[in-house]
Amino acid sequence: MFDNILVVFITLEHTEHTYDAAFEIAKKFGSKITFLKCIIEPHPKFAFFHTKGEKESHKQELKDAEKSLHSIEDIAKKFNISIKTQVESVESLSEFLVSYIQKNHVDLLIIDSHSLDEAEHEDHKETINTIFRNISCPLLTLK
């Protein structure tokens, strides 16, 4: 039923119950799991280019994201589940995910969205709605 599960983290922090839920579903259906962390490319402070500081800050965010996903690989080994991890720098989360889901034949999309402030929550609702309207697989959001 769910051969290919995609778990997406959109916040810097992520919760255990998100990957625990993914592991339980994968065990039940014999699924493959990809954990994807999307880091939104910052808008330049100056109209057409990023400063050196902005570039360095973004590189550090990507490195931190990779480290956080490596810890999930260790947990997956305890569950005896093989996973794939990936970090992407994206301009638009919804556009990237819709394309990724279609290209990779995802059967279930799980999105972790805890610890969002009010402004982020409104953006998140719009993003989820856009994704939901443009994909054909089930979508599970976890807080």
The Cα 49–Cα 55 span in angstroms is 10
- Residue 139 has what pLDDT? 92
Q: Are strands 108-112 and 83-90 parallel, antiparallel or unpaired?
A: unpaired
Count of structural domains within the chain:
1
- Following CA atoms 128, 118, 69, 92 in sequence, which dihedral angle do they give, to the nearest 10 degrees? 50
Residue 122 neighbours by CB distance under 10 Å? 11
Q: Can you give the pLDDT of all 143 residues of the chain as single tens digits?
A: 899 999 998 766 667 888 889 999 999 999 999 999 988 887 766 667 767 877 888 899 889 888 888 888 888 888 888 899 999 999 888 999 999 999 999 999 998 876 555 656 667 778 888 999 999 999 998 87
* pLDDT at res. 10: 76
pLDDT at residue number 11 = 67
Q: What is the number of other CB atoms lying within 10 angstroms of the CB of residue 65?
A: 22
pLDDT value of residue 112? 81
For residue 130, give the CATH number of its domain.
3.40.50.620
Give ∠ CA 20-21-23 in degrees, rounded to 5. 65
Determine the distance from the C-alpha atom of residue 110 to the mean position of all C-alpha atoms in its chain, rounded to a whole number.
Answer: 8
Q: What is the rounded (10 degree) CA torsion for 14, 15, 17, 19?
A: 30
Distances from the Cα of 126 to the Cα of 57, 95, 130, 131, angstroms: 26, 12, 6, 9
What pLDDT was estimated at residue 58? 84
Domain that holds residue 117: 4-43+51-142
